[in-house]
Amino acid sequence: MKKIRQIFMLLLLAKFLVSSTAYAQMTSSEIDQLVEEALRKFDVAGAAVGVVKDGQIVHNKGYGLKSIETGEKVDQHTNFAIASNTKAFTTAALSILVDDGKLSWQDKVKDHIPEFKMYNAYVTENFNIQDLLTHRSGLGLGAGDLMFFPDGSDFTIKDVLSNFQYFEPVSAFRTKFDYDNLLYFVAGEVIARVSGMSWEAFIKTRILEPLDMDHSYTSLEYISDKSNVATPHSTETGTLRAIAHFEHNTQNINGAAGGIFSNVDDLCNWMRVQLNKGKYGKNLEEQLFSERNHNEMWKIHTTLQANPNPRYNSHFAGYGLGWGLSDVNGNMSVSHTGGLPGMLSKTIMIPDLSLGVVVLTNTSEGGGGLFAAVAQTIVDRYLGLDDFGWTARYEQMFRNRQSRGDSVTAQVWETVKSANTDHIQASSYIGIYEDKWFGKVEVFLKDARLWFRAYRSPKLNGAMQYYKANAFAIRWEYQDMNADAFAIFSLDEEGKAQSIKMKGISPNIDFSFDFQDLDLQRIPNK
């Protein structure tokens, strides 16, 4: 009887294991349904999803449209801008150089780039390679991103290297996480100077080619046949529309912070080398970067608040080298997102489950809701969790956030519409103003209206409309992203403007529009 009971218990256990395994697998047809629903809910033109499990590609597919203008469909080879998911390629490149013995993680940046200068002497002297990658510089969120957001500016890597000295820190060095892009440009310059080749050339020859990522590129300008490149889209003006690609000029600034274009087919290879601790090839006989440096990239260097959601029972969170790190249900999670105008992406890996998921989208506003809902639903299934209805939850969060932002901006423009401008003397504001890192801007009359334009960033130009007190609201001609801003003047005793401070109008403005970091001072008339 005891033996029969043991056999019965083993059969029950086997049945449980079989049913649990079946539950953990999300079929391709289920992913299809998930993504198609999310495309509709979030008003996204197109998307692509890749899933790697136990070293195999188990799902690899495109959805929706490359462009609503052409009606061409997305497939698994369609290229999207992966934006900040590029950062992990930059840290992998540095890992390779460390393995080659050409630099150390603790090398001082100034030893490789003597002209590198931060906001004080101590930070300049002690800033090391890892400080470039871990968002702990002491500078504020997105500091200096206006040098390349929106695209079309003439700022160079030389400007980036010299302009850090003009920023005011918001926290002590190495004490607080504040996401930045500019220091990744510096990391790209380190790669160039140490390796003797550009960041673009190094990524191509040392990473993309060995991993057979044959249809991935370090910039849009290197794609000669753009027939299978997704077109970016936006709903910023109310309806889904195609917008221009973000033009990244690699002659001015390298793409180390967000330049790569790739597709889910190639990115599955990228996730596999990550999950295999740097090993790749048919029998994993090749090593892209050492396991030691793999561990360094997947080690927390800057701590963050753990996700309070009890669903995942998370205890820690932080940023490694180009990756966000946390625990979910006792499993390590490695992830990153990326965003450019009309292009959003997410990569997430659960190494304990040998699982990787990548989601690419070609629509700004709703793309974030789509990539979050799709990725989390797939991961949850493999974690053995119940269906949490992520698509509906993220749709509600997305709509609520959008509604709150729209309410704020609508109130601003309503105030502008009804403002009394009889007391405004345009001549008091006209002039040229200069910021130490951003350069000159001009306030002038155009068609009898005050107008603002930035000399070095041509897309930042637009009509200035009186708001209240000494503040004007600027509606940029550039509307691919939510970036309209206030210009707040300081006046002298005669009522003549002497300086301008700026800030975004919408609470949903992208952090890369760091208008708040500008200190524009009037240049006296000669």
Starting at the edge strand that comes first in sequence, how are the strands of the sheet with 56-64 ordered?
A: 56-64, 46-53, 355-361, 343-350, 331-340, 324-328, 317-319, 302-304
| Range 186-201 average pLDDT | 98
- Give the residue carrying structure tokens 């697998």: 25
Q: Of 137, 56, 20, which is closest to residue 354 (Cα–Cα)?
A: 56
Read off the pLDDT of residues 113-161 as tens digits, 9 standing for 90 and up. Answer: 999 999 999 999 999 999 999 999 999 999 999 999 999 999 999 999 9
What is the rounded CA–CA span in Å between residue 131 and residue 302?
Answer: 10
Q: What is the pLDDT of residue 238?
A: 83
Q: Of 57, 65, 90, which is closest to residue 338 (Cα–Cα)?
A: 90
> How many CB atoms are located within 10 Å of the residue 363 CB?
30
- Give the residue carrying structure tokens 């100077």: 193
pLDDT at 378 over 60: yes
Q: Is 275:250 a contact under the CB 8 Å cutoff?
A: no
Q: What is the pLDDT of residue 175?
A: 97
Phi/psi at 109 (nearest 5 deg)? -60, -40
| Range 388-392 average pLDDT | 96
Beta-carbon contacts of 59 under 8 Å, excluding residues fewer than 6 positions away, are 28, 31, 49, 50, 51
Beta-carbon contacts of 136 under 8 Å, excluding residues fewer than 6 positions away, are 173, 174, 175, 176, 177, 178, 301, 302
What is the rounded CA–CA span in Å between residue 372 and residue 346?
Answer: 7
Q: What is the pLDDT of residue 1?
A: 39
What is the rounded CA–CA span in Å between residue 348 and residue 366?
Answer: 19
Give 516: exposed, middle or buried? Use CB within 10 Å, 0-12, 13-18, 19+.
Answer: middle
Q: Which CATH class is domain 422-522?
A: mainly beta
Q: Of 414, 457, 461, 417, which is closest to residue 438 (Cα–Cα)?
A: 457
- Listed as own residue / partner, the contacts of 123-129 with beta carbons closer than 8 Å and 24 or more positions apart are 123/169, 123/173, 126/173, 129/94, 129/103, 129/104, 129/105, 129/187, 129/190
Q: Is 484:476 a contact under the CB 8 Å cutoff?
A: yes
| Range 239-257 average pLDDT | 92
Q: What is the dihedral of CA 147, 151, 156, 161, to 10 degrees?
A: 40
What is the rounded CA–CA span in Å between residue 439 and residue 445?
Answer: 20
Q: Is 504:515 a contact under the CB 8 Å cutoff?
A: yes
Beta-carbon-side half-sphere exposure of residue 195 (alpha carbons within 13 Å) = 24
Bridge pairing between strands 431-435 and 56-64:
unpaired
What is the rounded CA–CA span in Å between residue 237 and residue 409?
Answer: 13
Question: Count of H helices and E strands in the chain?
Answer: 12, 22
Read off the pLDDT of residues 301-345 as tens digits, 9 standing for 90 and up. Answer: 999 998 888 899 999 999 999 999 999 999 999 999 999 999 999
Q: Of 294, 295, 378, 379, which is closest to residue 329 (Cα–Cα)?
A: 379
Domain ranges for the chain = 24-52+74-403, 422-522
Q: Is 344:363 a contact under the CB 8 Å cutoff?
A: yes
Read off the pLDDT of residues 39-73 as tens digits, 9 standing for 90 and up. Answer: 999 999 999 999 999 999 999 999 999 999 999 99
pLDDT at 271 over 80: yes
What is the rounded CA–CA span in Å between residue 82 and residue 74?
Answer: 15
What is the rounded CA–CA span in Å between residue 76 and residue 54?
Answer: 20
Q: Is 301:174 a contact under the CB 8 Å cutoff?
A: no
Read off the pLDDT of residues 160-174 as tens digits, 9 standing for 90 and up. Answer: 999 999 999 999 999
Read off the pLDDT of residues 104-121 as tens digits, 9 standing for 90 and up. Answer: 999 999 999 999 999 999
Q: Is 369:395 a contact under the CB 8 Å cutoff?
A: yes
Distance of CA 118 to the CA centre of its chain: 23
What is the rounded CA–CA span in Å between residue 422 and residue 411?
Answer: 21
| Neighbouring-strand partners of residue 489 | 500
Q: Of 273, 267, 270, 297, which is closest to residue 286 (Cα–Cα)?
A: 273
Read off the pLDDT of residues 6-48 as tens digits, 9 standing for 90 and up. Answer: 433 333 333 333 333 434 688 999 999 999 999 999 999 999 9
How much of the chain exceeds pLDDT 70, in percent? 95
Residue 526: band (very low, low, confident or very high) from pLDDT cuts 50, 70, 90 = low
Fold classification of 24-52+74-403 is Beta-lactamase (3.40.710)
Q: How far is CA 281 from CA 286, 295, 348, 357, in A?
A: 6, 20, 22, 20
Per the prediction, the chain carries an average pLDDT of: 93
Q: What is the pLDDT of residue 509?
A: 95
Q: How far is CA 145 from CA 138, 182, 289, 472, in A?
A: 15, 7, 30, 23
Read off the pLDDT of residues 430-475 as tens digits, 9 standing for 90 and up. Answer: 999 999 999 999 999 999 899 999 999 999 999 999 999 999 999 9
